[in-house]
Amino acid sequence: MTDQPTIIAFQTGRHYTDKGQRIAATRLDNGRALFIDIDRGIDGVTTDNDDNLTKHRVMTCYDYGHYTVVTENTTGLGYDELEALLATLRGAAAFIA
């Protein structure tokens, strides 16, 4: 993982909670995207290996179930690095209006 990961954070416009549905994602070194949905409490790793990190890509994988659970094996990250990255993503999503 690079020192400063590129993070996208966005509001889907869906009304799962009073704050909507806020998602943040980053591209992993293996080409997959790690994403979190803080309003539904779902974290995932896309199963495709597309280098593009876009809202459309993340939502398509999420909506069609093309993701797997977040583990050290699916991300290629060590435990501490993975937990720090998840915390960063949660922080980024929390500020989406």
Domain ranges of the chain: 7-94
Residue 52's pLDDT is 86
Percent of the residues in the chain that have a pLDDT greater than 70, as a whole number: 97
Rounded CA-CA distance 24/33 in Å is 10
Span 16-37, pLDDT tens digits: 999 999 999 999 998 999 999 9
Q: How many residues does the chain have?
A: 97
Q: Judge residue 10's burial from the number of C-beta atoms within 10 Å of its C-beta, 0-12 exposed, 13-18 middle, 19 or more buried.
A: middle
Q: Is residue 2's pLDDT more than 60?
A: no
CB count, 10 Å around CB of 91?
A: 13
Span 71-90, pLDDT tens digits: 999 999 999 999 999 999 99
